């Protein structure tokens, strides 16, 4: 009985010794597979990061190109011409900035530029006031009660003493009695985009760019209401 146990013990030890290299090889294979999987996962992650960074860079470059092209188009506008791009921002409050020096107006929706137009502001002796205003009245068919019943299509009143946005002649220089004249079609689409109480900023100087006109107006212009009752 003792010899049998010894024999079995020796056999078991031999079997273990025989299995050990195989188990070691299997363990090495598993470790190698895990290392390969980790390496592949790391490679996939790195590739994903690189692709995302490339996509971000391409989007940024596209935005820079779009902004540059928009500035060039806005700069090239001649009297009576305008840009209208409501698709750039489809919701939010509309704000208008008028530059007397540039003889242009810039329209923003939710701080995004959606329109640029040429304008004609007040001639000598009828200066267009600068400052921040709100739209007090809107009337698509309006006639002046100060200047020979002159037509003022798509009128948006800024003061009760005769200053308004409306369609009119655009000779390329200040020629109005103080109002801001707009191209006819632009005055129509702007009328439809604005709301009562909307903000209009009128500045004397030229903003650094069309995209920066709103920041320029709200940060640099005198924030005063020029309206008075008459």
State the CB neighbour count (10 A cutoff) for residue 179: 27
Greater confidence (22 vs 150) lies with: 150
Query: Is the pLDDT score of 182 beyond 80?
Result: yes
**Contact assessment for residue 178 and residue 129, using Cβ atoms and an 8 Å cutoff:** yes
Which fold does the domain 77-220 belong to in CATH?
A: L,D-transpeptidase catalytic domain-like (2.40.440)
pLDDT band at 9 (very low <50, low <70, confident <90, very high): low
Q: Which burial class, exposed, middle or buried, applies to 79 when counting CB atoms under 10 A from its CB (0-12, 13-18, 19+)?
A: middle
pLDDT band at 6 (very low <50, low <70, confident <90, very high): very low
User: Which pLDDT score is estimated for 28?
Assistant: 62
109 vs 193: CA distance, rounded Å: 9
HEC string for 26-45: HHHHHHHHHHHHHHHHHHHH
User: Which pLDDT score is estimated for 47?
Assistant: 82
52 vs 102: CA distance, rounded Å: 41
The percent of residues in the chain predicted with pLDDT above 70, rounded, is 79
Maximal CA-CA distance, the chain: 134
Query: Is the pLDDT score of 198 beyond 90?
Result: yes
Which of 14-28, 104-118, 187-201 has the lowest average pLDDT? 14-28
Domain locations in the chain? 1-75, 77-220
Query: Is the pLDDT score of 227 beyond 70?
Result: no
CA-based torsion, 88, 203, 208, 81: positive or negative:
positive
Instruction: State both tokens at 86.
Output: 């409501």
94 vs 134: CA distance, rounded Å: 11
Mean of pLDDT values over 167-192: 97
pLDDT band at 54 (very low <50, low <70, confident <90, very high): confident
Query: Is the pLDDT score of 203 beyond 90?
Result: yes
Tens of pLDDT along 58-92? 777 777 888 899 999 999 999 999 999 999 999 99
User: Which pLDDT score is estimated for 10?
Assistant: 53
User: Which pLDDT score is estimated for 208?
Assistant: 94
Instruction: State both tokens at 182.
Output: 């707009």
Tens of pLDDT along 134-171? 999 999 988 777 666 678 899 999 999 989 999 999 99
Q: What is 77-119 written as a DSSP string?
A: --TT-EEE-GGG--SS-EEEEEETTTTEEEEEETTEEEEEEE-
pLDDT band at 17 (very low <50, low <70, confident <90, very high): very low
Which of 3-17, 88-102, 174-188, 212-226 has the lowest average pLDDT? 3-17
């Amino acid at each position: 009985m003792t010899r049998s146990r010894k024999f079995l013990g020796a056999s078991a030890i031999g079997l273990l010794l025989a299995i050990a290299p195989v188990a070691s090889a299997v363990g090495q294979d598993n470790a190698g597979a895990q290392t390969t999987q980790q390496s592949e996962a790391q490679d996939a992650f790195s590739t994903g990061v690189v692709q995302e960074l490339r996509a971000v860079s391409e989007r940024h470059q596209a935005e820079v190109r779009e902004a540059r092209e928009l500035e060039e188009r806005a700069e090239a506008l001649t009297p009576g011409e305008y840009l209208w791009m409501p698709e750039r921002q489809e919701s939010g409050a509309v704000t208008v900035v008028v530059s007397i020096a540039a003889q242009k107006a810039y329209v923003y929706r939710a701080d995004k530029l959606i329109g640029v137009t040429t304008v004609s502001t007040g001639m000598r002796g009828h200066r267009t006031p600068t400052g921040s205003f709100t739209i007090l009245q809107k009337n698509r068919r309006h006639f002046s009660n100060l200047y020979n019943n002159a037509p003022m299509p798509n009128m948006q009143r800024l003061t009760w003493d005769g200053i308004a946005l409306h369609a009119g002649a655009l000779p390329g220089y200040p020629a109005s009695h103080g109002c801001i004249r707009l191209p006819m079609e632009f005055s129509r689409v702007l009328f439809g985009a604005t709301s009562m109480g909307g903000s209009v900023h009128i500045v004397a100087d030229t903003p650094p760019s069309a995209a920066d006109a709103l920041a320029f107006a709200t940060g640099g212009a005198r924030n005063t209401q020029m309206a008075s009752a008459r």
